[in-house]
Structures are given as structure tokens and as C-alpha cells.
Amino acid sequence: MTDFNDLWRPYALSFDALKTTEGLVSLDELFLKSLSPELNSTIKAWRNNALTLTAIETSELQLEIARHLNRFISETLKIEDHTNFYFEQAADEAIVLEFKNRYVQRGAKRYKQEITESFNALTEQVMAKSGATAENFEFALAKYAMALEAESSEEKTVIEWATLALNTDEGKALTQHWVSFKFPERVDPQALVNSTEITFKGIPVKKGDGKDRRRDGFHLTDSRMCDHDIAGETDYCKYCHDHDGDFCSKGFPIKKAQPELGLKKDAFGNTQTGCPLDEKISEMITLRKSGHVVGALAMIMIENPMVPATGHRICNDCMKACIYQKTEPVNIPQIETNVLTSVLNLPWGVEIYDIFTRWNPLKQTDYLPTESTNRKVLVSGLGPAGFTMTHYLSQAGCHVVAVDGLKIEPLPEALLNGPVEHWSSLEEDLANRILYGFGGVAEYGITVRWDKNFLRLIYLVLARRNNVQIFGGVRLGGTLMLEDAFKMGFDHVSMAVGAGLPRVLNIENSLARGMRQASDFLMAMQLTGAAKQTSLSTLQVRMPAVVIGGGLTAVDAATEMQAYYIKQVEKVLHRVETLGEEAVRAKLFTPEDHDILDEFLTHGREVKAERERAAAAGEAPNFTPLLHKWGGVLLAYRRTMQESPAYTLNHEEITKAFEEGIFYGESLNPTGVNLDKYGHIESISFTKNGEDVTIPARTVLVAAGTSPNTIYATEHGTLEVEDQHHFQGYDILGNKVEYDRSKTVKDDFAPFTSFNHKDHRVSYIGDTHPTFNGNVVKAITSAKRTADQVIEAMKALPANHIDNAELSRVMTEGLTVTIESVKLDNPAVAEVWVKAPFVARNFKPGQFFRLQTYEVDGQIVDDTRLQIPLFTASGTGSKDDAIRLMVFQWGVAPRLVSRLKKGDRLVLAGPTGAPTDIPTNKNILIMAGRWGTAIMLDLAPVLREAGNKITYIATLGQASEMDKMDELEASTDQIVWCVQKGEKVTARRAQDSSVVATDMIELLHELDKDGVVDLSSIDRMLALGSTSLLKGLQKELSEGGRLTPIFKADVEVMGTVGSPMQCMMKGVCGQCLQWQIDPITKKRTKAVFTCAGQDQNVKEIDLDNLTARTSQNRLLDVLNVAWFDNILKKID
């Protein structure tokens, strides 16, 4: 193994030195010295603006520098053998492409003479003469043929062979993967996806009309083009930069000579902007064709240093604006990603990419990092926009603290502090990879069609920087406020918080059991690890399934639903067989759970049988027939497929979905979901061309679009929102700029929000910005274009004298979360104190948190990782820099919490939820179950301090559940201790009493009748209990209810809604969605995000919907507990 530092030692450089600006300056000087004096002088003059070049001349200079850079890196890292391979490969490919031109395009396509011999006979002849084998046939034949004399008999034989190869079935079959026989097909905008129509569940639907792809799990599903195919694409390019016609980069003009006319629109009305980043595409392809892969990467990174996050299966704006408009365009994204992987696969390829993010001699300006400006920027959100902003600002000399609401796993110290020789050592199988959380929607939204190892690469190069800090589990608006940031010394905050508020379908029985938001499904599967065999996360889905929507999220949800279902039933079968079916069934609650278990076990056994059949046949298992047998997955869109966003923007994804067996239904407008006798979805109703149709469905996933994330404005009211849709934009001078929908990503835009505190500004980028929402490359562009304006805006600020190291210390101490203590005095509840300074500072009574442990810290037992994937933890008080949690020991996650030790690191994202409203001088009645009792420990003292009289009814199962009696008595005026069975709690104060009761409504009657509690004096009631308690209160407080005449007419009765939750970022995933109803008509009014407001008017809660929402995963939850119990027996 070569030592990286040994390679640099002759130049007085090292891995550590290259992480500094000084080291990169030395590297730049070293490179310039390796050039001819003439080129050295030219570059220096160009950098100093002493040389004026046209766009074409600039490209030629950059191409020359790139070729020298290719040589310099190769020689310095002593990898010439590896980089020379690409030159040799390019030479070989050139022969094949010359063969294509001479023998296929100009020979076979024009050949009109009669051919007397068969294709097979001619094949034998040309193989014999060329010495070809089946493995090297194309290249061997090309090499042989290109050496033949023109118009010789041998040449004629090859031309005749090529003619038959083009025009016979045998020939087409043999050459179907030959680059020399691949020609672009004409493009029909209305026929971009091959499909055929069949009858499915009684309605016409589309299915794929091409190859099937056998999907098995969550490994990378697209291994991309090979180098040979890439050579065909690079040859197809016209290298339009040489005449300033590279529309793929600059956009396709209506008239090239009249740029003021703007850009063309395609057949679907999309403006052909070309690459939003203005990437130097033609120049990159020129270099890739000649084998200069290192130079090609540097060429890409002039405008797109975050290239791992773009390219194949991510963006195609460049292809849409390619000069080829009537035939297939050059597959630029494939070439781009191939350039990246070609370099990564070189020895030290990771380090080459890392260096190029910070030093790129192909750039005229900013080719080196700027010395520290002592400016400090908080970037909120680490999706594509956020990590790109982090890159540009850190390069500009700013100290950047980048935070994200998601859990971000720590990287190994060895990667951070030492060089990576082989990219393969960084790569992980996507099916088993650590879910790092870095990358935002690129991590949890994009599926394994794209290689998420690229996210780990970007994470690594940013985390290595001395002026960058990265923290997960930090919610802007909870953990940190804008005002907090500026008080701590930040000069700017950039909000890259992405899209939010998934749209809910207001149809009959919406959000019934079996119906989810697609964003909820994808996040649960890809971020909490439900798809992993090792995970303790649960996500229960059934077949058949319908996905509603026409965008990429809908397409992704459809394919992943199929893949996940196979894994789910296999996992269920494995665990049931291990635990014993009889033992598992003994734990089930309802007949429905037994029915669903039967269903899962039957399907699991069919999957197992298919695996055994495939293994015996030596082939990959084919699950598509099984999925179709079980009802399949239908993607339902309200218009035609050709009108869908997925088709008009990324039609390839529909093709790929068809390959996996998805069905596509058109003109389907959902009107309602229909329930079985258990209240679970069994079918969904649509109108199709005016007629009513019903389709069987046990799972319905909704991908009906999202809105820009303006949650901070909703929550705190300090940011102006335009049209109740997105942040109001302001320019750098502070002028309000109305959003213009006609503007493209290449036009002027307003990057700042209305927030302006003493010239401290807040920018908004990515999906949050209406000009740039919609895809990854636009988000990256928004950060790139906004960064310069942020830097300019900070120039108006006074000098920042806060030491960067001191700010780093403050942020590390404030955002590092560890266990302070875990007390198990009562075996039924763990009192957990968590050290989380910034969280504790902003916590208010009633709020809660998302608690998780890190995957990398989880012990693996019996192929199960003992990690807390996600747990909703309610705060029960704070002291100094710590939060108290009372964690009741039921379920898997709470019991894992109790096993944590002092010093263990974890994520405590929040605080989130709405703080409980604290009135003054009111009579307040609190009825709380065991969980609510824990909330009371923090809430009651605050209510009492505000002058309120607190009457507390503690509803416990039995007296042994009583805990913290002293604290509760100290913060209440009166307590009624109620147990359902056994001995009473001993009341210790004269005003307190103790009862045994099971009917809480009847108990309220008795307490009022007996004069124990005067309910007519109550101004507000808080119900912190079960759904059944809330149902009783709702019924008896309605018109004609038993409690209505007892309470005041204007009494406020609030219930805490315990919806299932996941992201807890107030409107991103949608798992916590909960319907509300009109108290009089009982009809649904709106769906609300419970994690944004858990305390709701009892009369307005759709409690049947709440019951459905909380039992979505019931069977898998029971099985999960049983599995966990079995593991504990082995480790305790």
C-alpha cells in the first residue's frame, strides 16, 4: 500500500497540509511550475484579468489546462498506469467508432447489392479472419476491418456482414449491445415510454412493453453505463462549445443571434434552460472522449463541485436542451457520472475529488479557498441546497455551522483524519449501508435507483474542513431560533429547509388504516431503516396497493412499495418461525391481526419458495408474478400519463418502474376509500371519464404534491410569507420583490427573506424558494447563486471579533446530546436526564422530542441492531442544561432507552410541538393517565405560577403506578387519585381524595355531585389520556351529553392527541396528520399536523381517525416486542 504522505513529502506537502489554504497555495504553485513558461504566464494573466478571452477562447484555455492537470495529478500521485488505461481505452474505442462510421453508417446503411451468403456463414468468416471470440468480437472485428484496404474483397465481406447485422433478426440479436450498431432513434414527445394497454381490475391501464427487471431488495438498481457505452455517447456529441452553441449548458435560444428573445419551450411547455449550473458539458465530454478523466472531472467542477449529487438518475435539464431535438439526445448525465466514478476508482480518487472541491486551476477566480474572513454563517438544512451553500461559504472563508433536523450519523475518525486510497473502501451496499441521514431529501426521498454512497462522499469532504461543523437533530424554530443565532455571533442564516406540508386528499375515509402519505412511507422505509433485516423499526403495508400522484415521488413510492413488501413478509416469516407461530398468535389482540398474519405468512412462504426455485435454476428470483398475483401496485393519476410531471420531466423513471411491473392508471380522480369490517382499507373509488370505478387496495399511498416549507413563519411569525405559499422575497438592498412565475433558474431572483435585524439577513434556498423548487440540481443552483449575494450582504456588517474556535466550542457543547443519568427506581418507568444545553434552553412545558440513538453505536444481536430508530419522548422538566424524560417501559424503544448509560450519545431533536397555552388566574382541571402524569411534573408548576388553581384527577391502572407524589402535590391545589383496580392511593392532604373507578365520565359526575370537585367553576380542562377518554369527553360534552349541563357553556376542553409521529418537524413527512371535524355536523373540516399542535379542542378531533392512525402498524409492533423480548433473554 502506497503512503499518501510519502507521495507529497518531496514537495513539502502532506494530507494535513492539503487541508489548509497554505498547502493548497503551494499545490497551485507546484502545478504552475510544471507548465511551460508560456502557459504559466497565460494563466496568471487570465487570473489577473490582464487577458481578455472570448467564451470559445476561454474553453480552449481550460481544455489545455485540464490536460496538463490530468498529467500533473497522475505523475504526482504515481498513478500513471491507471490513468494511461483510459488513454489506451480511448484509442481502442476510437477504432470501434471509426469502424462504425466506415462500415456501418457509410457502408452497411448504403449497401444495395444482393448478399448471397447467410449471416451465420459471414459471421464465421469474419470471426475467423479477425481472430475474434464471443467476448471481444466487436473490438477484434473493428481492429481487423480498419486495417483492410478500401474496396478490397475482405472489406466487402465485412460490409455485407454489417448489412445483415443491421437488417436480420440474428444480426440484431448478436449486435444489440454493440456501440457500433447503436443509432439514436427519433423522438416522439407523446411516445417517450413504451407501454401496452391491458385490463386491470376491470379498467384499462398501461404496463411496460419492454424488458422486465428482477428487483430483489434495496441494492443499487442501476449500475449505470459501462465505459464502452459511454464512448458511444461521447462520440455522438457535437462538442458545440467550439462555436458557442452548447445549448445543453447555456439553454436553447429561440434565436441564437437574438438572445433577448429568451429560451425555447419543449413540447410540454418546459423552458429549455440547459444545465441550471452552466456546467461546461461539451468541454467535459471532449476530455472524456480522449481519456483525460481527471481533467474532465475538474472541468465539471468549475461550475459543479457537488457533482456527486447530480448526473445520472438525478437531473436531465442538459439533455432537454441538447442540440439533438428530433432524435435521442446525448446522455450527458451518464457521461458526467461516469467521469466522476472513473476518477473515484483511481487510487486516491476520493482525495482527488476532495482536493478539486477546494482547488481547481481551471477556474479563473476562486480557484483557491479564501483566507478566513471571520464571518459566521448558520446553514439550516443539509439537503442538496444546504450542503452546497456550506461548500461555497466555507470556500469563501466563512465559518459555517450546518445543521439538519434529521439524525446525522457520525463518520469514522479514520476517514476524517486520514486519506482514502480506494473508493471501494468507502462504498457500501445500499441494502445494508448505514443510514447516515446526510443529504435531506436525497437521502430519504430518492430511492436506490441512485447511488447514495455519493452522499457519504460529499459529507466526508465537508466534514473534513476546519471551518465547517455539521450537526444533526437540530430543528430551526425549536433547538435554535433565528434570534439565538445572531446573539451567538452568526452574521447570516441560510434556510435550506426543503419542501413541506404534503397535500392531503379530502376524500371519504381519507387517512384510514392502510392510507399514508408517500413521503411518510419513503422516510420510514429509507431513514428509520424499516427495510433492513436488522432494524427494530416497523412499517406495515399490505397488498394490493395504489399510489396516487403523477410525479417522481409517486413513481418512487410505487417501486419501493413492491420491494419493501417482499422484505416485510420475509422478515415476518423469519421471526414467526424463530419465535414459534403459536407463541406469536397468543400475543395478538384482534381477529384482524390473525387474518393479516395469515396473509403475511402465506406470502412469505411463497417468496421463500420462489427463492428456492431460482437458486435451483441458477437465476435471480422473479417476484413480479407474485406481486401481480397479490393484486399488484397501481400508479393512479388524474390525467394522462403524458401529462404527468414524471413523464414531462423524467420519463425514464416511468420506464424503469414499468420494468419492475408497475401498472399505470390514467384519468383516475379519487373520491373515497372503502373499509372492511375492521375499518381497514379494502378498496378505493375513483371517477374515470365520468364513470365510477372501484379498485381493490389494502394500501394507498398519496403523493399529491407539497408546498415550500414556511413552517418557521407559521410557528414564529417573524418571516413574511407571500400568498400564504412561500417566503416573501427581498433583494440585497432590502427591496420587496414579487415572485414572477415566468422567471427561470437563470434569471435574476430575490434570495433574502423579510428578516433584517441590524442588517443581519436570512436567505432561503432550495425547495423553499419558488424559483428553484422541484429537483436536486435546481436546489444546488440556488445555493451557488445565492452564496455570492450572502457574501456581499455580510460586507455591510461590522467586523465580527468572535473567535471561530470559541464559536465552535459553544456549538459543540450546546448541540452535543448525551445521557446524564437513567434512574429505574420504579421498574415501570425510567427517569432519564439528558444533557442537551440548547434543547433545554428553548424547552417549554407541553413540548416533546424525537429521540434516537446512532446506528453506528447499536450492538447487533441475532442479526438485529439494538438501536432506537425513533421514539416520541415528552419533556417533563428541565434543569440547567438538561431535560428530564419519564419513559414508560412498554414497547421496544422505551426499553432500549432504559438500557442507556451515562455519557451515551443520542439525538434529541426538538423541542417540537406547541407549548401548552398558559392562561392566568383560571380554574383548570387536568385529567391525566399515567403518561399525562409525567407531563404534569413540568406543566402543573408553570400553570400554578401563573395564578391558576389546579385540580388534578390522576387516572392510574393501580396504585403501584404512582410516582413523584411529592412533586405532584407541590404543584397542585387538589388531587383526586383514581385507580381502576386494587387498593386505593393513600391521599395525604386534606383536600385530596382517592377512589376506585373505571368509567371516567361517571367519575366526573360523582365528583361534582358529591361536591369533591365543582365542575361548574372550571374554566379549562386538559385531558392528557387515552383515546377512549377523549371519546367519552367528546360525546358527553356535545349537545345532549351528560357533562354539558355541568360545565360552563364556554369551558375549553383540550385533549392531547397522541398521533403516530416520525420527522416531528411540523409538516414534512405527514405521518402525524390528523383529521378534525365540525363539532355540530361531525363532518371533517381539515387535516392538521399533530406534531405542530398536539393540544386540540376535544370537540374537533376526529377520534375514530386517531384510533385508525395509531394502529397502522399494530401487528408488526406486537411481533417486534416479541422479537425484542427474545433477544433480551440472550443478553441479560
CB contact at 8 A, 521 and 557:
yes
- What does the domain layout of the chain look like in residue ranges? 82-181, 369-500+709-804, 515-702, 806-910, 923-1116
DSSP code of residue 449: T
Angle at 1122 (CA atoms; ends 1119, 1126), nearest 5 degrees? 140
pLDDT of residue 1098: 95
CB contact at 8 A, 1117 and 1084:
no
Per residue in 1059-1090, pLDDT (tens digit) is 999 999 988 999 999 999 999 999 999 999 99
Dist CA 1049 CA 287 (whole Å) = 79
Whether 976 has a pLDDT exceeding 90, the answer reads yes
Per 3-state DSSP, the chain is made up of helix, strand and coil in percentages (nearest 5) of 40, 20, 40
Q: What is the mean pLDDT of residues 493-512?
A: 93
CB contact at 8 A, 580 and 592:
no
Per residue in 748-806, pLDDT (tens digit) is 999 999 999 889 999 999 999 999 998 999 999 999 999 999 999 999 999 999 999 99
pLDDT of residue 655: 96
> How deeply is 484 buried, as exposed, middle or buried, from its count of CB atoms within 10 A (0-12, 13-18, 19+)?
middle
Share the mean pLDDT of the chain. Answer: 96
How far, in whole angstroms, is CA 1 from its chain's centroid? 36
DSSP code of residue 728: P
Q: Which residue has the cell 427517569?
A: 831
Q: Which CATH superfamily is domain 369-500+709-804 in?
A: FAD/NAD(P)-binding domain (3.50.50.60)
Q: Collect all residues with Cβ–Cβ distance below 8 Å to 374 and sequence separation of at least 6.
A: 399, 799, 800, 801, 802, 804
Least confident of 303-312, 716-725, 753-762: 716-725
Say whether 515-702 and 369-500+709-804 share the same fold: yes
Q: Collect all residues with Cβ–Cβ distance below 8 Å to 580 and sequence separation of at least 6.
A: none
pTM of structure: 0.96
For 270, 437, 507, 668, the CA distances from 638, given in Å and listed in that order, are: 20, 33, 14, 5
Angle at 509 (CA atoms; ends 507, 513), nearest 5 degrees? 130
Q: Collect all residues with Cβ–Cβ distance below 8 Å to 173 and sequence separation of at least 6.
A: none
For the chain, percent of residues with pLDDT exceeding 90: 94
Whether 724 has a pLDDT exceeding 80, the answer reads no
Per residue in 173-185, pLDDT (tens digit) is 999 999 999 999 9
CB contact at 8 A, 32 and 43:
yes
pLDDT of residue 708: 82
Per residue in 140-161, pLDDT (tens digit) is 999 999 999 999 999 999 999 9
Per residue in 622-671, pLDDT (tens digit) is 999 999 999 999 999 999 999 999 999 999 999 999 999 999 999 999 99
**For every residue of 42-75, which 3-state class applies, written as one string?**
HHHHHHCCCCCCCHHHHHHHHHHHHHHHHHHHHH
pLDDT of residue 263: 95
Residues forming a β-bridge with 736 = 730
Q: Is residue 798 reached through a cis peptide bond, with omega within 30 degrees of 0 on the bond before it?
A: no
Provide the CATH topology of domain 806-910: Elongation Factor Tu (Ef-tu); domain 3 (2.40.30)
Assign domain 923-1116 to a CATH class: alpha beta
Q: Collect all residues with Cβ–Cβ distance below 8 Å to 617 and sequence separation of at least 6.
A: none
pLDDT of residue 933: 86
DSSP code of residue 149: P
Whether 61 has a pLDDT exceeding 70, the answer reads yes
For the chain, percent of residues with pLDDT exceeding 70: 100
Give the DSSP H/E element, type plus range, for residue 668. strand 668-675
CB contact at 8 A, 310 and 777:
yes
DSSP code of residue 178: -
CB contact at 8 A, 385 and 391:
no
Dist CA 782 CA 276 (whole Å) = 9
Per residue in 856-903, pLDDT (tens digit) is 999 999 999 999 999 999 999 999 999 999 999 889 999 999 999 999
pLDDT of residue 1: 62
| Band (501; pLDDT cuts 50, 70, 90) | confident
In the chain, the amino acid numbered 926 is I
> How deeply is 689 buried, as exposed, middle or buried, from its count of CB atoms within 10 A (0-12, 13-18, 19+)?
exposed
Cell of 88: 489506451
Per residue in 275-306, pLDDT (tens digit) is 999 999 999 999 999 999 999 999 999 999 99
515-702 to CATH, choices 3.40.50.300, 1.10.150.170, 3.50.50.60, 2.30.30.40? 3.50.50.60
Cell of 362: 481551471
What are the DSSP E strand ranges found in 914-992? 923-928, 949-956, 974-979
| Band (963; pLDDT cuts 50, 70, 90) | confident
